[in-house]
Amino acid sequence: MADLAGPIGYNCGVMMTGRKAVALLIAAGLAVGLAARAAAEEYPYHSLAGQLLVASPAMTDPRFAETVILMISHDRDGAMGLVVNRVIGSGPLRLLLETMGVEGSEAEGTVRLFYGGPVESHRGFVVHTADYEGPTTQVVADDLAVTFETDVLHAIGEGEGPARSLVLLGYAGWGPGQLDGEIRREDWYTAPPDLSLVFGDDLDRVWERAMARAGTRL
């Protein structure tokens, strides 16, 4: 799987520079064989998989300040999650699909690209409602899933995709016991999964709203 040759270009820091930027996304590949997809072993602590991880106001790491993370896995081998409230660019959905080889797509509108986290920023993921299921789809909560291959975008282009979706680059990852240590240090709170937060249109308020729902300090 090819790495990105360089950063995605933007116009005024928002819009992708057309076909080249989208091609980089596809070259990065949404197909990934992450260990997060493997069946989790019995974990001695409460697993946060399927929950929202909310950065505390004291978070000093700029990569995670005021972030909300959908947790994909959390077990004895470590943890993985996807930031859902940081947009890095946007572009035509039709162009994205054409670059994937979906010719003649009539798809309209734009697709936003999200910063999923600082690890392997060349790799892509699609978080979506669980009304779509493909070969590599992993359901993480009652109505939330993540797909690791491009079939979900093909389905979106054909009008058969999930009701709501996010396309993300990179992920947040923790080694064995690392996230548990950060939790004990009170870097993070938790909140139950909520579609209105994961797919919130007012991204500037997602963290604030998640904090209001994070009633339990971890």
Segment among 105-114, 120-129, 189-198 with least mean pLDDT: 105-114
95 Cβ neighbours under 8 A, 6+ residues apart: 18, 19, 22
| pLDDT-based confidence at residue 102 (cuts at 50, 70, 90) | low
Tens of pLDDT, residues 122-180? 888 999 999 999 999 999 998 999 999 888 888 887 788 999 999 999 999 999 999 99
Predicted local distance difference test score (pLDDT) of residue 54: 97
Whether 40 has a pLDDT exceeding 50, the answer reads no
Q: How far apart are CA 75 and CA 73, in angstroms?
A: 7
> What is the per-residue pLDDT across 42-93, written as a single tens digit (0 to 9) for each?
445 688 999 999 999 999 999 999 999 999 999 999 999 999 999 998 888 8
How many CB atoms lie under 10 A from the CB of residue 96? 26
pLDDT tier, 217 (very low <50, low <70, confident <90, very high otherwise): very low
Q: At residue 115, what are phi and psi to the nearest 5 degrees? A: -80, 110
The pLDDT of residue 11 is above 60: no
- SS3 (DSSP) at 83: strand
Domain architecture of the chain: domains with CATH: 44-88+112-217 (3.40.1740.10)
Instruction: Specify which residues 68 forms β-bridges with.
Output: 54
Is the pLDDT at 9 greater than 70, yes or no? no
At 170, which helix (H) or strand (E)? strand 165-174
User: What's the confidence (pLDDT) of residue 79?
Assistant: 97
CA distance 127 to 145: 6
Confidence tier at 215 by pLDDT (50, 70, 90): low
pLDDT at 206 over 50: yes
What is d(CA 17, CA 166) in angstroms, rounded to the nearest whole number?
Answer: 20
Between 112 and 6, name the one with better pLDDT.
112
Instruction: Measure the CA–CA gap between 152 and 24, rounded to whole angstroms.
Output: 18
> Tokens 């991880």 identify what position?
53
* CA of residue 141 relative to chain centroid, distance: 14
Backbone torsions φ then ψ of 209, nearest 5 degrees: -70, -40
Residue with tokens 């077990």: 75
